[in-house]
Chains A and B, each alone.
Chain A
Amino acid sequence: MVTLLEAGRPYLIALIRIIVVFLGVSLLVAYLVYAERKILAHLQVRVGPMRVGPHGLLQPIADGLKLLLKEDIIPQGADKAIFWLAPIISLIAAFTAFSLVPFGPNFAITDANVGLLFLIGISSLGILGIILGGWSSNSHYPLLGALRSTAQLVSYEVALGFALVSALLLAGSLSMQKIVEAQAEQGIWFIFLQPVAFFIVFVAAIAETNRNPFDLPEAESELVAGFHTEYSGFRFSLFFLAEYAAMVLVSSIAVTLFLGGWLRPFARVAAFDFLDFVPALVFAAAAAWCLRAVLRLPRGREWRWQRLMLYLLGAGAVLVFLVLLLPVRVDGRLAFPVLGAIQGVFWFMVKVTALLFGFIWFRGTFPRYRFDQLMSLGWRFMIPLAIVNVIFCGLGIVLSKKSDWNLTASLWLATAATLLVAVLLVGRRRV
């Protein structure tokens, strides 16, 4: 019996991690939709969802229930099997990729030595679902949306790949864990060595996840709803989930490669050790916000549910705060094991959230590119720039090895050269 348990142990741990990651990502995706609605609303002088729960905090749950209960329509003449399969492919691709994302120093479902390659491969599979969904709907708008997304993916995948290569050159490994560790060892995040590559990755990520200003496959003012025009109910919600999960995924990749993954800012500077307490402070701030919200609620019985929910939220926040600050005496010094354990995940999430905010901010700001302009931007600007960047990055690394220049200085030189090329490229593009 004992041996069986012991043999099963790694599988059990893996299973627990899978469940935690799956639930965590699902929750994150649901609240990403909520955050998008709230942030967009505030950009647009509105307040956004306010009715379901305090400040509409339960809105994602209500939306999810609504979608589940809706009628599920398969259009006449649709290719049923493919129509069934398409959203599932998209969703599976988006979620499978999370198995390699390093949320913390010891918190990834698995770590593979081909990690990044696998991630890129799996995340591009998601587009297959979009193409199949658009094709099988037997309708013009989805078909046009699917065609657009194919072309878009092909062009921006290339630029994304080249930009990722420059981070790989610096890390010397494809394993996601090793890439973060390399940034810890070198004491600098790769964004400060390769800003152009980060820019390309971010733009390509927006294009790959079909977000504004590159949201052509589902441009609602042109193609109604693009590839998912004919989808409804649960199947639509799968596409929807997949899209937002893909957003979280590409942000995670960018964070891992360029923003130091789970590393705290100034991880190696002892003077900034107080930043270790930020996670606890965040929960204290959340509790304070709940208290303020309760005090600002008008009196009266009709507000009692809101009040109760705010009390519960606040109490939860206080509880987490206390648990995080659970002190243990080790070798005569105080240590905070719980705080230490969530440290990595916390900083990782902070950075992912910052990038996701960027996604939402762009959506509130920019008009949409046209199809041919998107292609010309991809092929005539992004891809040449990415190639030039890789070449200069490699030259910079060689330069620092052959001479006594340090790596940072030689890579900044390389970046300056790349920017020069970028200026030339912009100058050549006709407006």
Chain B
Amino acid sequence: MERTPGVSTTVLGADEIILNMGPQHPSTHGVLRVKLKLDGEKVIGSECIIGYLHRGVEKIGENRIYAQFAPYVDRTDYVAAVSNGLGYCQAVEMLLGTEAPPRAAWVRTILTELQRIASHLLWLGTHALDIGAITPLFYTFREREEILKIFEKYCGARLTTHAFRIGGLLYETYDGFEEDVKRFCQDLDKKIAEYEDLLTENRIWVERTRNIGVLSAEEAIDLGVTGPVLRASGVKWDIRKAFPYAAYDKFEFEIPTGRNGDTYDRYLVRMEEMRQSRRIILQAIESIPEGPIMARIGKVLKPPPGEVYHSIEAPKGELGYYIVSDGSVQPYRLRIRPPSFINLEAFDKMVRGHLVADVVAIIGTLDIVLGEVDR
């Protein structure tokens, strides 16, 4: 083999290996490309190369009227479309100076929390698959399917739902919505216990995740990491509590935090978050108020000139929308703050000194979606 230019030698005098992981690789969760510098199997440097799924979503936003752009945000984090929709609709509502009626806020909260559970289930299945446990994937997809069925019954779509409209909801809840949601929540506890049976105290699982990709609280804050990744490092920060939106201030729930900031803690935090989401849903479903589901806004949305930044706690972290209006029917500038992209910044710090096998564990634990990283 010829010597690769720019490659230095390692301590033992051997060549460093440059290993390209992705964009086509089973465990990079899409089209992430990671350029790893290896000494044997040890990672001594890494570089994330992104952009393979770039569609210019933000630029498209400048060329669509406000209502037209709403389906596009579903396609950023495409496994948590409902959450994206909530963030965007609320940002535009703030720009317009209106607010969705209480009934709409309640339904939005329920659907968003269901979406959080669905997103975490997908994360759990794929993360376990990356670490070599192939079975949890099918169990989590079985439960996720129930959530997608509820979405489908509600708005006709399963994945890219476009469930909410600016100003509230387009559809009233269907007959039997409450029963479906309650039935799902009743089963969920047992199902989560089932996953935990397979993983939580499994010696191999613990050895593979504990002390892997450690991120201290200071480092996490410095890097701007949010969501479960930040909370696992011990920082109690959740936008649902800090700046309540929709109907979150009406419900009781805990913010689970970790201690070590390692992959195992992030696993535990997300498992607990699913239980907390279930708690929120059960409270909300009991107290949905009656009333209109749509605020009184005009047919043509022309927000006054100005700018707004609104962020929500998406399943993966802080999802923010920054919209500048010039008073026309289209945004002057639209910017999305994607949690996946910013969490991915921590990758290099987390991966250094670990082995190749840990790289996929760390990509999995960051819970990135490339649609959102690249937009």
Contacts and interface: CB of A to CB of B under 8 A. Distances in A.
Interface residues of A, number: 34
Interface string A11-25: 000000000000000
Interface string B1-37: 1000000000000000101100001110000000000
29 contacts: A44-B137, A44-B138, A44-B139, A140-B20, A141-B19, A144-B41, A144-B356, A147-B41, A212-B134, A215-B132, A216-B357, A221-B130, A221-B131, A222-B357, A222-B359, A222-B360, A365-B198, A366-B133, A367-B131, A367-B204, A368-B357, A369-B208, A370-B357, A372-B355, A373-B204, A373-B208, A431-B206, A431-B207, A431-B210
Given A221-B26, A222-B27, A371-B355, A364 B134 contact: yes
Given A40-B134, A222-B27, 5 more contacts: A44-B135, A45-B138, A141-B19, A366-B204, A373-B207
Interface in B207-245: 207-208, 210
Contact of A221 (B41, B139, B203, B360): B360
Nearest to A143: B17
A219 B132 contact: yes
A221 B17 contact: no
- Most chain A C-beta atoms within 10 Å of own C-beta, residue among B1, B133, B210, B357: B357
Nearest to B25: A224
Contact of B356 (A213, A215, A222, A367): A222
A360 to B, nearest CB: 11
B358 interface: yes
Contact of B135 (A43, A221, A224): A43
A223 B26 CA distance: 9
A365 B134 CA distance: 8
Nearest to B212: A370
A219 B357 contact: yes
Contacts of A431: 203, 206-207, 210
Nearest to B357: A370
B278 to A, nearest CB: 21
Interface in B115-148: 128-135, 137-139, 142
Contacts of A366: 132-133, 202, 204
B205 interface: yes
A46 B132 contact: no
A138 interface: yes
Contact of A371 (B1, B41, B133, B205): B41
Interface of B: 1, 17, 19-20, 25-27, 40-41, 128-135, 137-139, 142, 198-199, 202-208, 210, 355-360
Contacts of A141: 19
A55 interface: no
B367 to A, nearest CB: 16
A147 B14 CA distance: 14
Contacts of B132: 212-213, 215, 219, 221, 366-369
A431 B210 CA distance: 9
A363 interface: yes
Contact of A367 (B17, B138, B208): B208
Contacts of B358: 370
B130 to A, nearest CB: 5
Contacts of B199: 367
A369 B1 contact: no
A333 B357 CA distance: 65
B25 to A, nearest CB: 6
